Amino acid sequence: MERTFAMVKPDGVRRGLSGVILDRFIRKGYRVVGLKQLVISRELAEQHYAEHRERPFFGELVEFITSGPVVAMALEGEGAIAGLRTMMGATNPKDATPGTIRADFATTIGENIIHGSANADDAARELGLFFSDAELLK
């Protein structure tokens, strides 16, 4: 079993898509082992996007992700990291395959509804940022 992190971003929460997205993951067979809604602090946002700190869009990422509530999810299943990435679709919704979350719901690359861990190292780091061990189901 593999664990990964996913997050419905403020645009998705604002549009009431959290339940629809969570339902897709559950129907695909992933187990929810952690779930919470929160407003991300600037400090947490900067830690979450630390690998982009030197990029020109870093400030925009931090501003957007702290602009409203998000829904953080810890999900578990066989091949969960790659599976969720496939379900999310390309970062730019214009390039996303029809039927993926971003193709179905996202409008722009800057407001693309969802985040998911890119690899096992990112998943471990992001799960640790958003969930304590006590908050995750065993």
Matching residue, tokens 């969720």? 84
Residues 6+ away with beta carbon under 8 Å from 54: none
Q: Is 48 a catalytic residue?
A: no
Assess contact for 113 and 103: CB atoms under 8 A. no
Assess contact for 80 and 6: CB atoms under 8 A. no
- Pick the closest to residue 111 from 44, 54, 73, 65 (CA basis): 65
Which listed residue (3, 9, 48, 115) is catalytic?
A: 115
Catalytic residue numbers, as ranges = 115
